[in-house]
Chain A
Amino acid sequence: MMGNTSGSGSLGELDDLYEAIILDHYRNPRNTDPVDSPDIDLEVNNPFCGDEFQIQMKVENDAVTAVGITGRGCAISQASASLLAELVEGKKSGEVRASVSSFRRLLQGEELSEEERDVLGDIEALGGVRKFPIRIKCALLSWVGLDDALKEHLAK
């Protein structure tokens, strides 16, 4: 027989990509409830793999008071969307945008400050995607969409 040893956690470097926290968010995504009369309501998709998410947010007094992200996609894009939803809830828009920027830098392999790492928390687990460059887009999909929408909303 060819192939690998059996059992989970043995598929090469797969654990670097799919850390436990990612699999957890993939299986049990957070903040998936739709938001009532959202201020921001957009769809993002990646035609290459067919992943698509609907992102809804309520922004009051410059803070995200409610967020809902639903959709379908691979484990990385789903976990990333779920972690994003968890992160932005209750944050000031400036903080959200700063976090998106930290997240981008994390995926580009840049060194993050202690402070940035504190803000991202669990999300740092997604940094393993760096080893699988083709999957970086999956991790960024909802983040880029949300950031653009927020920027547009603030400019109104």
Chain B
Amino acid sequence: MSITGPGTKLSGREFDVATVRADFPILSRKINDHPLVYLDNAATTQKPRQVIDAISNYYEQTNSNVHRGVHTLSIEATDAYEVARAKVAKFINAPRPETVIWTRNTSESLNLVAATWADKNVGEGDNIVITAMEHHSNIVPWQQLAARKHAELRYLAAGKDGLLDMANIESTIDSRTKIVSATHISNVLGTVNPVAELANRAHEVGAVILIDAAQSVPHMAVDVQAIDADFLCFSAHKMLGPTGIGVLYGKYDLLDEMPPFMFGGDMILEVTYEDAKWNELPYKFEAGTPNIADAIATGVAVDYLTDLEMDNVWEHEQQLTAYALDRLTALNGITIFGPEDPALRGGVISFVHDKIHPHDLGTALDQQGIAIRTGHHCAMPLIRSYDVVAAARASFYVYNTKTEIDALVSGINDTERYFVR
């Protein structure tokens, strides 16, 4: 098979898919005797050699605990850990590195805000606004908080076109709204939401805005200051980095006033037998020995993406998405969810086939080496609102090619012949 895309010339420089692919060892694996076609990037992405090496190098050369030792290894580990934080800060244009908190993943970041800022600031009769297209991770913490505080959980509706119903934004986000928490890009519909507009409305009523950027930061240039995000979170594993590490960005003053999330070592300044004083940012939120190796490797993933240039990454995925939408729309029996216009969406395409259950499709495609996601995509209420119980989803990243989309389409055709005959 040919692995190069059609030599796409992108904004600044040449974005060469073949060169990118060569960095990903797993892409040379065969699955069921076929070359792996990995189209499950919204779930997690593959890792380039550079990131994999960063992890083993750390354990081979630098391993030590951070912020505690005066010996060389501890100083080097601390340094690398903080350099990685600074890289992430720069990547999202955070004003200062201390506003970047390491967590385990997006889910933990969301829970952190719900358990600290929101726990302190949301009271009886207040409301929390989320959208109808959230991941369970951005629904359940708010359901729990609303129940605990006797607050109201409101949903900004989404239309059948996959777009948020912005006409209702003023009545939904009102003077009793304390926090708006919205996904930047839907992991089901691919919709790119107008988060700056949401932020603007939230600020108008004195609320804060939290942006679930799990599906945006990996794929597009995100500038937390341009959006005026109060909080923003994402997971390294969805952006070429390792599992087990994620980020919470927050405005300095907000973070500074928030109570800690977990208690223990590293997050304190001074402990007496009676009491403790919290450490400064970001350490107040990083209790215990952190995930040092994976933080450092996340810095390397950020380097990798920075080197590709995020505008190129976005453009590459836009081209793949437009091509995939074209080819999938041409098939019989396929219904695609989300915006029809590729310019309004990221590289995530969920669809159903009228005669093949997503799980049968997923199993059949897997026999051809093609990995897609099937099921409810951790967005049960949204999936149900489309009158289906499960969907298939193909999602793209830097190493995917049009040839792979052709493989998906021919795989669907073969599966249809097999089941429908």
Interface residues of A (CB under 8 A from B): 1-4, 6-14, 17-18, 23, 26, 47-52, 72-76, 132, 135, 138
- Give, as a whole number of angstroms, the nearest-CB distance from B4 to chain A: 13
B143 at the interface (CB under 8 A from A): no
Can you sample 30 A-B contacts with CB below 8 Å?
A1-B410, A2-B403, A2-B404, A2-B406, A2-B407, A3-B34, A3-B411, A7-B417, A9-B418, A11-B364, A12-B367, A12-B368, A14-B363, A14-B364, A17-B363, A18-B360, A47-B380, A49-B359, A49-B374, A49-B376, A49-B390, A51-B389, A72-B389, A74-B358, A74-B359, A75-B419, A76-B359, A76-B360, A135-B363, A138-B359
Chain B residues near A138 (CB-CB < 8 A): 359
9 tightest A-B CB contacts, nearest first = A50-B389, A12-B367, A2-B1, A74-B357, A50-B390, A74-B359, A8-B418, A11-B367, A2-B407
Q: How far does the alpha carbon of A123 sit from the alpha carbon of B406 in the complex, in Å?
A: 37
Do A14 and B388 have beta carbons less than 8 Å apart?
no
Q: What residues on B are CB-neighbors of A48 within 8 Å?
A: 375-376
B386 CB to nearest chain A CB (Å): 11
**B389 — which chain A residues lie within 8 A by C-beta?**
49-52, 72
Contacts of A52 in B (CB 8 A): 389
The chain B residues found within 8 Å of chain A, CB to CB, are 1, 32-35, 37, 357-360, 363-364, 367-368, 374-376, 380, 383, 388-390, 403-404, 406-407, 410-411, 414-415, 417-419, 421
Bound-complex Cα distance A135 to B418 (A): 18
Which residues of B are found within 8 Å of A73, using beta-carbon distances?
Answer: 357
CA–CA, A8 to B407, complex, Å? 16
Would B376 and A6 count as touching, CB distance under 8 A?
no
- B418–A11 contact, CB under 8 A? yes
Chain A nearest Cβ from B144, distance in angstroms: 19
Max count, chain B CB within 10 A of own CB: residue among A17, A18, A75: A75
Instruction: Give min CB distance, B365 to chain A, whole Å.
Output: 9
Q: Are A47 and B418 in contact (CB under 8 A)?
A: no
Q: List residues of chain B with CB within 8 A of the CB of A132.
A: 363
A4 contacts B1, C-beta separation under 8 Å? no
B367–A13 CB distance below 8 A: yes
Say yes or no: A50-B376 contact (C-beta < 8 A), given A2-B1, A2-B403, A2-B407: yes
Contacts of A8 in B (CB 8 A): 414, 417-418, 421
Chain A residues with Cβ below 8 Å from B421 are 8
Contact B32 A13 (CB under 8 A): yes
* Shortest CB distance B405–A (Å): 11
Question: Do residues B375 and A12 form an inter-chain contact, with CB atoms below 8 A?
Answer: no
Whether B417 contacts A135 by the Cβ 8 Å rule is no
A18 partner residues in chain B, CB cutoff 8 A: 360, 418-419
With contacts defined as CB atoms under 8 Å apart, how many contacts are there between chain A and chain B in the complex? 93
Question: Distance (Å) between the CB of A151 and the closest chain B CB?
Answer: 27
Q: Which residue of B lies closest to A15 (CB)?
A: B418
Closest A-chain residue to B416, C-beta based?
A8
Give CA–CA (A76, B374) in the complex, Å.
15
B263 → chain A closest CB, angstroms: 35
Tell me whether A135 and B368 are in contact in the complex, defined as CB-CB below 8 angstroms, given that A2-B1, A3-B411, A8-B421 are known contacts.
no
Known contacts being A3-B411, A6-B414, is A14 close to B380, with CB within 8 Å? Answer: no
What's the minimum C-beta distance from B111 to chain A, rounded to whole angstroms?
A: 22
CB nearest neighbor in A for B406: A1
Whether B359 lies near A135 (C-beta < 8 A) is yes
**In the complex, given contacts A4-B414, A11-B367, A49-B389, what are 4 additional A-B residue pairs having Cβ atoms less than 8 angstroms apart?**
A2-B34, A6-B417, A9-B418, A74-B357
Q: Which residue of B lies closest to A6 (CB)?
A: B414
Collect the chain A residues with CB atoms within 8 Å of residue B33's CB: 12
- The minimal Cβ–Cβ distance linking A53 to chain B, given in whole angstroms, is 12
- Flag if B403 contacts A14 (CB, 8 Å): no
Neighbour of B357 across the interface among A11, A17, A75, CB < 8 A: A75
Q: Which residues of A contact B34 (CB under 8 A)?
A: 2-4
Q: Check A4 against B359 for contact (C-beta < 8 Å).
A: no
B139 CB to nearest chain A CB (Å): 15
Given A14-B367, A51-B389, A74-B37 contact (CB < 8 Å) = no
Say whether B358 contacts A11, CB under 8 Å.
no
- CA separation between A10 and B410, bound complex, in Å? 13
Residues of B within 8 A of A9 (CB): 418
Q: How long is the Cα–Cα vector from A8 to B413 in the complex, in angstroms? A: 10
Residues of A within 8 A of B406 (CB): 1-3
A50 vs B379: C-alpha distance when bound (angstroms)? 12
Check B419–A23 contact: CB distance below 8 A.
yes
The minimal Cβ–Cβ distance linking B208 to chain A, given in whole angstroms, is 33
**A51 vs B389: C-alpha distance when bound (angstroms):** 7
- Do A3 and B360 form a contact, CB below 8 Å, given A11-B368, A11-B415, A12-B33? no
Given A3, A23, A49, which contacts B407 in the complex, CB threshold below 8 Å? A3
Q: Closest residue of chain A to B380, judged by CB?
A: A47
Contacts of A51 in B (CB 8 A): 389
How many Å from the CB of A78 to the closest CB on chain B? 8
A residues less than 8 Å from B357 (CB atoms): 49, 73-75
User: How far, in whole Å, are A73 and B388 apart by their CA atoms in the complex?
Assistant: 11
Chain B min CB distance to A54 (Å): 14
